[in-house]
């Protein structure tokens, strides 16, 4: 049998395995640990320090070190505590037998430790000092690991436009990367969305409670509610679906087949403070486009700004030339959806 040791390549192997090995081991302590922001993760090239037998955490006075420089740094920075990065790791775990019968040695994770600094000491300075030592493989700030914003809504698993795993036969990853965006923010309550449609958004729906205002006297409409759900359904409430913005206020405006009514609905939506207007309808007439082209100067004088999202139909595509005035205005942005 061959005996293989990851010599100088051990650091590269380590970097490739830290995410898969270290983070799961430290996940619980990182989320619940109030000291993460003043901790340093350290890997030694050898057993430079030893904790008392049977202990996974100790104070500096209990720690022994065969390297005087390491001990000096621990004392100078008044390290409050030292714990094992992988308390359940055994040195025997470094030796593996492959399916081909080859004995392979992997990284020795028993040399991983976490140092906790007092509040008045510089973490960056400690890391720089540690990196200057010859027997240090790795030294870096500890950091919090937070779960991805994956909503628990009943039908979120069907929303492959938001999170596509191929669940509906589509291409995995062909989506709008909503979960990645939700890691940063799940939406602002200051960004109003207007739904200009054939009826009113169902204001009493559990996904919209307390967030719908505007033209509430007209009949409720399933299409308007569906569109509003894509844009702004409350996420992570065990109900329905998740919208792009979980917190947006929703202005609902009803239209009919009268172009002047439609134009007024759009004006009302803008005047309500909506930043985004969704219009899932089309027209075979150029008259509405002409009327809308005259609106931007009005909005500019009122210091209004909105994004105009238009559902595309064949008839609308034929009229796009009449809406050129909208795209050239600094107060309007025109998107197809």
How far is residue 86's CA from residue 113's CA, in Å, rounded to a whole number? 8
pLDDT of residue 93: 75
**Is the CB of residue 292 less than 8 Å from the CB of residue 260?**
no
The model's pLDDT over 43-52, given as tens digits with 9 standing for 90+, comes to: 998 888 999 9
**Which residues lie below 8 Å from residue 114, measured CB to CB, with a gap of 6+?**
26, 39, 40, 41, 42, 82, 83, 84, 85, 142
pLDDT of residue 94: 76
How far is residue 265's CA from residue 268's CA, in Å, rounded to a whole number? 5
**Which residues lie below 8 Å from residue 72, measured CB to CB, with a gap of 6+?**
none
The model's pLDDT over 172-221, given as tens digits with 9 standing for 90+, comes to: 999 999 998 998 899 999 999 999 998 999 999 999 999 999 988 889 99
pLDDT of residue 104: 78
DSSP 167-210: TTSS-TT-S--HHHHHHH-S--TTSEEEEEESSB--TTSTTTTT
pLDDT of residue 109: 84
DSSP 263-299: HHHHHHHHHTTEEEEEE----S-SHHHHHHHTSHHHH
- pLDDT-based confidence at residue 73 (cuts at 50, 70, 90): very high
Q: Which fold, 156-336?
A: Rossmann fold (3.40.50)
pLDDT of residue 193: 94
Residue 282 pLDDT > 70, yes or no? no
How far is residue 288's CA from residue 285's CA, in Å, rounded to a whole number? 7
- pLDDT-based confidence at residue 103 (cuts at 50, 70, 90): confident
DSSP 132-155: TSTTEEEEEE------------TT
pLDDT of residue 308: 59
Report the candidate in 143, 144, 145 with the shortest Cα–Cα distance to residue 40.
143
pLDDT of residue 275: 87
More confident residue, 226 or 147: 226
**Is the CB of residue 164 less than 8 Å from the CB of residue 170?**
yes
Please write down the HEC assignment for all residues of 202-231: CCCCCCCCCCEEECCCCCECHHHHHHHHHH
Q: What is the mean pLDDT of residues 122-130?
A: 95
Q: Which helix (H) or strand (E) holds 70?
A: helix 68-76
Report the candidate in 33, 320, 318 with the shortest Cα–Cα distance to residue 25.
33
User: What percent of the chain shows pLDDT beyond 90?
Assistant: 45
How many helices and strands (H and E) does the chain possess? Answer: 11, 16
More confident residue, 104 or 32: 104
Residue 29 pLDDT > 50, yes or no? no
Q: What is the mean pLDDT of residues 92-111?
A: 79
More confident residue, 2 or 80: 80
Residue 42 pLDDT > 60, yes or no? yes
Domain with CATH 3.40.50.200 in the chain: 156-336
Please write down the long-range contacts of 3-7, taking CB distance under 8 Å and 24 or more positions apart: 3/103, 3/105, 4/102, 4/103, 4/104, 4/105, 5/105, 6/105, 6/106, 6/107
pLDDT of residue 286: 56
Q: What is the mean pLDDT of residues 22-35?
A: 52
Residue 251 pLDDT > 70, yes or no? yes
pLDDT of residue 11: 39
pLDDT of residue 316: 42
SS3 327: helix
- pLDDT-based confidence at residue 263 (cuts at 50, 70, 90): confident
pLDDT of residue 300: 38
How far is residue 41's CA from residue 35's CA, in Å, rounded to a whole number? 12
Q: What is the mean pLDDT of residues 159-179?
A: 92
DSSP 83-99: EESSTT--GGGGEEE-T
SS3 307: strand
* Maximum mean pLDDT: which of 44-58, 275-289, 300-314: 44-58
């Amino acid at each position: 049998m061959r005996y293989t040791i990851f010599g100088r390549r051990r650091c590269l192997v380590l970097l490739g395995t830290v995410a898969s090995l270290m983070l799961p081991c430290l996940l619980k302590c990182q989320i619940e640990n109030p000291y993460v922001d003043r901790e340093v993760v350290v890997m030694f090239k050898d057993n430079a320090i030893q904790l008392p037998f049977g202990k996974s955490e100790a104070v500096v006075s209990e720690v022994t070190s065969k390297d005087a420089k390491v001990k000096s740094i621990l004392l100078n920075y008044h390290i409050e505590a030292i714990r094992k990065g992988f308390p359940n790791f055994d040195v025997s775990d470094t030796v593996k037998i492959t399916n081909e019968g080859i004995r392979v040695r992997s990284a020795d994770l028993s040399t991983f430790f976490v140092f906790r600094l007092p509040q008045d000491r510089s973490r960056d300075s400690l890391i720089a000092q540690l990196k200057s030592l010859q027997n240090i493989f790795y030294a870096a700030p500890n950091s919090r690991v937070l779960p991805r914003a994956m909503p628990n809504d009943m039908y979120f698993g069907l929303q492959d436009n938001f999170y596509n795993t191929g669940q509906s036969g589509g291409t995995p990853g062909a989506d709008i990367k909503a979960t990645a965006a939700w890691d940063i923010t799940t939406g602002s309550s200051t960004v109003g969305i207007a739904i200009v449609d054939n009826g009113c958004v169902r204001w009493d729906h559990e996904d919209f409670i307390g967030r719908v205002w505007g033209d509430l006297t007209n009949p409720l409409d399933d299409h308007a509610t569906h569109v509003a759900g894509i844009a702004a359904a409350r996420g992570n409430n065990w109900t329905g679906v998740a919208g792009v913005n979980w917190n947006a206020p929703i202005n609902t405006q009803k239209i009919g087949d009268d172009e002047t009514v439609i134009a007024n609905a759009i004006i009302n939506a803008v005047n309500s403070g909506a930043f985004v207007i969704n219009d899932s309808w089309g027209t075979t007439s150029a008259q509405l486009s002409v009327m809308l082209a005259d609106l931007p100067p009005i909005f500019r004088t009122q210091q209004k700004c909105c994004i105009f999202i238009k559902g595309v139909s064949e008839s609308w595509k034929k009229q796009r030339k009449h809406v050129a005035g909208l795209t050239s205005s600094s107060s309007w942005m025109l998107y197809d959806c």
